[in-house]
Structure formats: C-alpha cells, structure tokens
Amino acid sequence: MPMVSVVVGDDVAACRAVVKPRIALYVGGMGARGRNFYNDIARRYGYEEAAQRIQDSYLAGRKDEATAAVPDALVDEVALCGPRERLRETARANGRPPAPPR
C-alpha cells in the first residue's frame, strides 16, 4: 500500500525535520551498500550525491549527519509538509484532488 508522510504546521522546515530522520534511515540504512531499494529510488529521482552521502554517513554511525544530508527537495518529493494551504497546492500541482476541508 503506498503511503505518504504528512506533517501539518506553519513552519515548513520544522515539518520537514520530522520526516528527514526516517528518510535517512531508509536511504542510508536499509539493506546493504549496493542493495538498498530506497537508496536506488533516491538516485533515480536525481539525488545520486545526496544518496551516497546519506548512506556513507548512516552506515558509519553518523545518523545526525545522514539526516542533515537529506535535501529539502527530496522530502518534498516523497512527503507533504507545511501549512494546509501548501499541502493543497502541492496536491493540485501533482494532479491529485485536494482533500476536503475539516
């Protein structure tokens, strides 16, 4: 089942910061070097250098460094972060219908 992380809040950077450690774990620490599905996806999305830095840092035990290496643009490609208006705009820009207001 496809899933998307959603973090709602006024501070986009703070919302992204909630998601970055999980991305670092998956891109950097899942599987073995050269056999990491999530690292491969990040590379296919155009983040080859970042994926390498994340993996190198994570496998060396420097998880904070790996988290810091996760680009904001990668977070924005795989998660929805920020105020509700930004999430609606992102959903519309990607061809998804906006969620009904609560």
At residue 97 the predicted structure's pLDDT band, cuts being 50, 70 and 90, is low
Range of the domain at 64: 5-93
pLDDT for the residue 93 = 78
* Strand (E) or helix (H) holding 61: none
> 24 in a domain, yes or no?
yes
CA–CA separation, 28 and 67 (whole Å): 9
Task: Confirm whether 102 is domain-assigned.
Answer: no
**Greater confidence, 14 or 94?**
14
Residue 86 falls inside a structural domain = yes
pLDDT in tens, 22-77: 999 999 999 888 899 999 999 999 999 999 999 999 999 999 999 999 999 999 99
Number of independent structural domains in the chain: 1
pTM of the model: 0.85
CB 58 within 8 A of CB 24: yes
User: Is 67 within a domain?
Assistant: yes
101 located within any domain = no
- Quick one: pLDDT band at residue 20, thresholds 50, 70, 90? very high
